[in-house]
């Protein structure tokens, strides 16, 4: 199939890495700039996904399965982290009735 | 064809990621995150990570995001009332983040040889390869992970009790 645009037939590895950087920085921006604790948590998941993309890109490049396994472990840890983190969010909301991160800045009630 | 698929799904991923950060309502952010994860699953397939693409869709876009939407609906979380942050902190944070992105992209572009191309089908990590490595070389981390999940279950149950 001939493409109208002058695209390379195969994608360079660096494009995947640059995409990963963009996703990671977007997640970091949301982590720093948003107030809602659930959105902040979702931005953490976005950063984890960006790192997973790097692992799998290098796994493909080095023709070794290890990168895929690291990404697999990251997913498992992210699932465990999501369960505990959402339980913490529920507890915070039960005690303070707010989801704004700035209003839960002190440890004491 | 590879490049076209990559560009389409990379554009979807970046668009959904920016939408995630810009939306004020958590449900819109959650749906954007599902979009990011779905398009990343396609990119994993292009990179030969067949097993990881399936796991990404089942575990991430399925289980974890259902947990997120469940919590959002349980807490009846509405849109943020106040504007996101002070103008000054945004003005400081954004240039620094763009600098970080620039440095990262620069190193990604210069440190990888330009001859390194992602050839579809040159490498596949299906369930066979993953399982073989997981139960031989990575057996100890795999078992430790089961302990981690057990601790996470206990922690979630303790946190969800009434009296805390």
pLDDT tens digits for chain A (109 residues)?
455 566 777 888 888 999 999 999 999 999 988 888 999 999 999 999 999 999 999 999 898 999 999 999 999 999 999 999 999 998 888 888 888 888 888 877 6
| Structure confidence at residue B84 as a pLDDT band (50, 70, 90) | low
Domain match, B41 and B117 both: yes
A11 contact B CB<8A: yes
- DSSP states of A28-60: HHHHHH--BHHHHHHHHHHHHHHHHHHHHHHHH
Cα A74 to chain centroid distance, Å, stands at 10
Shortest CA distance to A69 belongs to which of B88, B137, B111, B18?
B137
The predicted complex's ipTM stands at: 0.90
**CB pairs below 8 Å between A and B: how many?**
245
Domain match, B121 and B155 both: no
Domain match, B111 and B147 both: no
Which among A17, A63, A69 is the nearest to B130, CB-wise? A69
Domain match, B70 and B140 both: no
**What Cα–Cα distance (Å) separates residue B134 from each residue in A68, A78, B88, B127, B138?**
10, 18, 48, 10, 5
Domain match, B85 and B116 both: yes
Residue A12: the pLDDT is 86
CB-based contact A61 B7, cutoff 8 Å: no
Domain match, B59 and B88 both: yes
Residues 14-33 of A with CB under 8 A from B: 14-30, 32-33
Identify the CATH number of the domain in which residue B37 sits. Answer: 1.20.120.1200
Domain match, B91 and B155 both: no
Domain match, B164 and B139 both: yes
- How far does B57 lie from chain A, in Å, by closest CA? 11
Which among B6, B93, B152 is the nearest to A15, CB-wise? B6
Angle at B33 between CA A55 and CA A61, to 5 degrees: 15
**What Cα–Cα distance (Å) separates residue A56 from each residue in A1, A31, A53, B73, B99?**
27, 24, 5, 33, 25
Q: What are phi and psi of A81, to 5 degrees?
A: -65, -40
Q: Residues A109, A95: contact at Cβ < 8 Å? A: yes
A44 contact B CB<8A: no
pTM: 0.90
Domain match, B64 and B76 both: yes
Cα B90 to chain centroid distance, Å, stands at 24
- How far does B18 lie from chain A, in Å, by closest CA? 7
Domain match, B117 and B150 both: no
- Say how many domains are in chain B: 2
End-to-end CA distance of chain B: 55
What pLDDT digit, counting tens, does each position of B86-99 carry?
788 888 888 999 99
Burial pattern A28-49, b for ≥16 Cβ within 10 A else e, equals bbbbbbbbbbbbbbbbbbbbbb
CB-based contact A18 B105, cutoff 8 Å: yes
- How far does B136 lie from chain A, in Å, by closest CA? 12
Domain that holds residue B37: 2-125
- How far does A83 lie from chain B, in Å, by closest CA? 6
Domain match, B119 and B134 both: no
The dotted CATH code for A13-96 is: 1.10.287.3510
B127 CB neighbours in chain A (<8 A) are none
Searching chain B, which residue's CA lies closest to the CA of residue A32? B93
CB-based contact A81 B2, cutoff 8 Å: no
Domain match, B93 and B24 both: yes
């Amino acid at each position: 199939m001939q493409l109208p645009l002058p695209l390379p037939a195969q994608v360079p590895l660096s494009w995947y890495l640059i995409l990963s950087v963009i996703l990671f920085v977007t997640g970091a921006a949301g982590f720093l700039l948003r107030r809602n604790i659930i959105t902040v948590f979702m931005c953490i998941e976005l950063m984890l996904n960006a790192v997973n993309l790097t692992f799998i890109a290098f796994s493909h490049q080095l023709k070794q399965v290890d990168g895929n396994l690291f990404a697999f472990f990251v997913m498992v840890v992210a699932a465990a982290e999501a369960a505990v983190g959402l339980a913490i969010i529920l507890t915070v909301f039960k005690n303070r009735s707010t989801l704004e991160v700035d209003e839960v800045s002190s440890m004491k009630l | 064809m590879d490049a076209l698929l990559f560009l389409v799904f990379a554009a979807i991923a970046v668009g959904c990621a920016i939408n995630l950060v810009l939306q004020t309502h958590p449900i819109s952010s959650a749906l954007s995150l599902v979009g990011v994860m779905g398009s990343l699953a396609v990119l994993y397939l292009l990179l030969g990570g067949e097993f990881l693409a399936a796991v990404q869709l089942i575990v991430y876009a399925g289980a974890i995001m259902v947990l997120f939407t469940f919590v959002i609906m349980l807490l009846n979380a509405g849109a943020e009332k106040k504007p996101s942050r002070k103008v000054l902190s945004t003005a400081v944070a954004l240039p620094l983040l763009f600098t970080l992105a620039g440095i990262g992209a620069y190193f990604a572009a210069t440190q990888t040889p330009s001859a390194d191309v992602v050839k579809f089908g040159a490498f596949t990590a299906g369930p066979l390869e993953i399982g073989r490595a997981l139960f031989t070389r990575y057996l100890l981390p795999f078992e430790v992970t089961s302990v981690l999940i057990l601790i996470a279950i206990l922690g979630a149950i303790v946190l969800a009790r009434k009296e805390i």
